[in-house]
């Protein structure tokens, strides 16, 4: 119930909630706790719940930040918020203004909700807020800096914070939880995805069948697991000091995972692999860097020319990457080389399964080179680690092989 002016009274009913959502909502409304950690599995309903709380607060004239590790993580919340707004504006048009560009909603009596990415911690304005929701908290990369930037915004109104996330290994989110167990100011809630009655039947069972157990435990049971070996186990990996003779390989492919990020963020990676007659996948070479567009194009061109015509180049061709592939196809110097576009399908875990199964079967060998250590670190922490571009580049080569785009170069003699 709210009072928009002296003359109007509007009743807003919130959507139905599941039991765990109701529990947290009533804890929130009781005012007994200032901080909330919802350590909930994927698809358990944490964004839905927090969007209802954020909406309810703004409707009462409160100021709310909705913070995400990166902009792309805000799409569901923004959609959920707009759905809530529609319930009201159908009856009272214009009551709430949504600005798509800045992802900010303004409510009567100075309430607002603003969606902000904390990828750059400085973008957290220090304007006072009553509530900050931090969605997918565990994915935040520079947590200390984000917290320093956010703290001043919480002092004016003794702002409250709701952390909602699925765990990511034992990073700061784990410590946040551990540090506040038993703290009277903190409300801690743990929930497994299968407790969400609104999910289509079978969805979680399907995930249980698809993913490695440790990964399932983290993502769907919201357990804090040790990152190492979540997907690739150390004992599966084999190493060699030198490559076998060239004619051992039936195919040679270099897979490219491209990111246009000159300063920070993801890497561009080109991983060259060879498959021998026993189906063993050898990682023979790896180039990796954070580059702008011209440098990416130049690096692929130079690397491809160095690899020569025996090596097929597999380039992920979605979004920006498609433009890179098109640019390369127009280069006369590359006309004698095989450049294939690859269209990634499914999520990154599903895509990495063929590589993991090959590794488990002892059919994955990595050369000892200066790049080996970082590749191994990434493999062992995948998919929970900070980066997955090397794994992506490797899975791209397998996808290309599976799709039969590469002709066997020497298999026939
Ligand atoms: N209160 C609710 N009413 C109806 N469906 C819900 C509700 N809460 C969650 N769901 C369903 O569960 C799915 C996952 O919810 P979401 O909040 O996006 O999960 P999470 O943020 O935990 O991944 C939603 O797409 C929706 O189908
Ligand atoms: Mg969510």
* Per-residue model confidence as pLDDT tens digits over 159-205: 999 999 999 888 899 999 999 999 999 999 999 999 999 999 999 99
Q: Report the residue among 198, 200, 207, 218 best suited for mutation to probe ligand 1: largest number of ligand atoms under 8 A from its CB.
A: 198
Tell how many helices (H) and how many strands (E) occur in the chain: 12, 17
> What is the C-alpha to C-alpha distance for residues 331 and 402, in angstroms, rounded to an integer?
27
| Nearest ligand (C-alpha, residue 22) | 1
| Nearest ligand (C-alpha, residue 135) | 2
* Residues 261-284, mean pLDDT to the nearest whole number: 90
**Are the CB atoms for 290 and 262 separated by under 8 Å?**
yes
* Per-residue model confidence as pLDDT tens digits over 138-153: 999 889 999 999 999 9
Q: Which helix (H) or strand (E) holds 391?
A: helix 389-402
Query: What percent of the chain shows pLDDT beyond 90?
Result: 75
Q: Which atom of ligand 1 is nearest to the CA of 16?
A: 1
What count of other Cβ atoms lies within 10 Å of the Cβ of residue 182? Answer: 7
Provide the pLDDT confidence category of residue 56 given band limits of 50, 70 and 90.
very high
Measured CA distances, 33 to 27, 161, 163, 188, 220 (Å): 7, 10, 13, 10, 26
Cβ neighbors of 399 (< 8 A, separation 6 or more) are: 314, 342, 344, 345, 351, 354
> What is the C-alpha to C-alpha distance for residues 108 and 111, in angstroms, rounded to an integer?
6
Cβ neighbors of 33 (< 8 A, separation 6 or more) are: 27, 160, 185, 186, 187
Averaged pLDDT of the chain: 91
Ligand 1, residues at Cβ distance < 6 Å:
15-18, 21, 40, 42-48, 76, 196, 198-199
pLDDT of residue 348: 84
382: left (phi over 0), alpha (psi -120 to 50) or beta: beta
3-class secondary structure, 412: coil
Q: For ligand 2, a single-atom ion, which residues have Cβ within 5 Å?
A: 47
**Are the CB atoms for 346 and 206 separated by under 8 Å?**
no
Write down the H helix ranges in 34-142: 46-59, 75-89
CA atoms within 13 A on the CB side of 210: 15
| Nearest ligand (C-alpha, residue 43) | 1
**Are the CB atoms for 39 and 165 separated by under 8 Å?**
yes
> What is the C-alpha to C-alpha distance for residues 85 and 3, in angstroms, rounded to an integer?
16
Write down the H helix ranges in 141-283: 143-155, 172-180, 203-210, 213-221
- Which of 130, 128, 4, 3 minimizes the C-alpha distance to 58? 130
> What is the C-alpha to C-alpha distance for residues 299 and 292, in angstroms, rounded to an integer?
11
* Per-residue model confidence as pLDDT tens digits over 103-127: 999 999 999 999 999 988 888 877 8
**Are the CB atoms for 363 and 223 separated by under 8 Å?**
no
Q: Which helix (H) or strand (E) holds 19?
A: helix 19-30
* Residues 10-27, mean pLDDT to the nearest whole number: 91
What count of other Cβ atoms lies within 10 Å of the Cβ of residue 314? Answer: 30
* Ligand 2 center to 316 CA (angstroms): 27
Q: Report the residue among 16, 18, 45 best suited for mutation to probe ligand 1: largest number of ligand atoms under 8 A from its CB.
A: 45
Tokens standing for 91?
């009856």
- Residue where the block lists tokens 């298999």: 411
**Are the CB atoms for 232 and 390 separated by under 8 Å?**
no
Cβ neighbors of 386 (< 8 A, separation 6 or more) are: 141
pLDDT of residue 211: 83
Per-residue burial over 200-214, b = 16 or more CB atoms within 10 Å of its CB, e = otherwise: eeeebeebeeebbeb
Tokens standing for 269?
């990676």
* Ligand 2 center to 273 CA (angstroms): 36
Torsion of CA 283, 289, 295, 296, to 10 degrees: 50
pLDDT of residue 408: 52
- Terminal alpha carbon distance of the chain: 80
* Per-residue model confidence as pLDDT tens digits over 277-322: 999 999 999 999 999 999 999 999 999 999 999 999 999 988 888 8
* Per-residue model confidence as pLDDT tens digits over 354-403: 999 999 999 999 999 999 999 998 999 898 777 899 999 999 999 998 88
Which domains are delineated in the chain? 2-221 (3.40.50.300), 234-402 (3.30.420.280)
Cβ neighbors of 38 (< 8 A, separation 6 or more) are: 24, 46, 49, 50, 162, 163, 164, 165, 189, 191
């Amino acid at each position: 119930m709210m009072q928009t002016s002296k003359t109007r009274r509007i009743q807003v009913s919130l959507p139905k909630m599941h039991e765990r959502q109701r529990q947290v909502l009533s804890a929130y409304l009781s005012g007994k706790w200032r901080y909330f950690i919802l350590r909930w599995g994927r698809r358990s309903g944490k964004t839905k719940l927090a969007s209802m709380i954020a909406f309810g607060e703004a409707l009462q004239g409160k100021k709310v930040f909705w913070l995400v590790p990166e902009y792309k993580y805000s799409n569901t919340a923004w959609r959920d918020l707009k759905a809530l707004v529609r319930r009201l504006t159908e009856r009272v048009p214009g009551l709430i203004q949504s600005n798509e560009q800045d992802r900010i909603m303004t409510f009567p009596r100075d309430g607002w909700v603003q969606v902000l990415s904390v990828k750059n911690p400085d973008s957290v304005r220090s304007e006072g807020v009553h509530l900050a929701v931090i969605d997918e908290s565990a994915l935040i990369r520079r947590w200390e800096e984000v917290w320093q930037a956010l703290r001043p915004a919480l002092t004016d109104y003794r702002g409250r914070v709701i952390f909602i996330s699925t765990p990511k290994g034992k990073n700061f989110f784990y410590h946040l939880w551990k540090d506040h167990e038993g703290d009277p100011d903190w409300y801690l809630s743990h929930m497994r995805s299968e407790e969400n009655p609104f999910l289509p039947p079978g969805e979680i069972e399907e995930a249980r069948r698809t993913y490695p157990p440790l990964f399932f435990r983290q993502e769907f049971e919201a357990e804090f697991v040790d990152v190492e070996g979540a997907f690739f186990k150390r004992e599966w990996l084999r190493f060699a000091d030198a490559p076998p003779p060239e004619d051992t390989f039936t195919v040679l492919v270099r897979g490219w995972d491209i990111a246009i990020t000159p300063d920070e963020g993801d890497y561009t990676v080109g991983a060259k692999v060879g498959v021998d007659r026993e189906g063993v996948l050898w990682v023979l070479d790896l180039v990796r860097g954070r580059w702008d567009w011209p440098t990416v194009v130049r690096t692929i061109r130079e690397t491809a020319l160095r690899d020569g015509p025996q090596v097929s180049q597999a380039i992920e061709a979605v979004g920006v990457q498609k433009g890179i592939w098109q640019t390369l196809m127009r280069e006369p110097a590359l006309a004698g080389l095989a450049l294939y576009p690859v269209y990634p399908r499914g999520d990154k875990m599903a895509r990495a399964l063929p590589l993991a199964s090959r590794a488990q079967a002892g059919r994955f060998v990595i050369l000892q080179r200066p790049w080996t250590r970082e590749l191994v670190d990434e493999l062992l922490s995948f998919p929970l680690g900070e980066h997955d571009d090397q794994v992506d580049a490797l899975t791209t080569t397998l996808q290309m092989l599976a799709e039969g785009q590469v002709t066997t170069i020497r298999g026939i003699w």
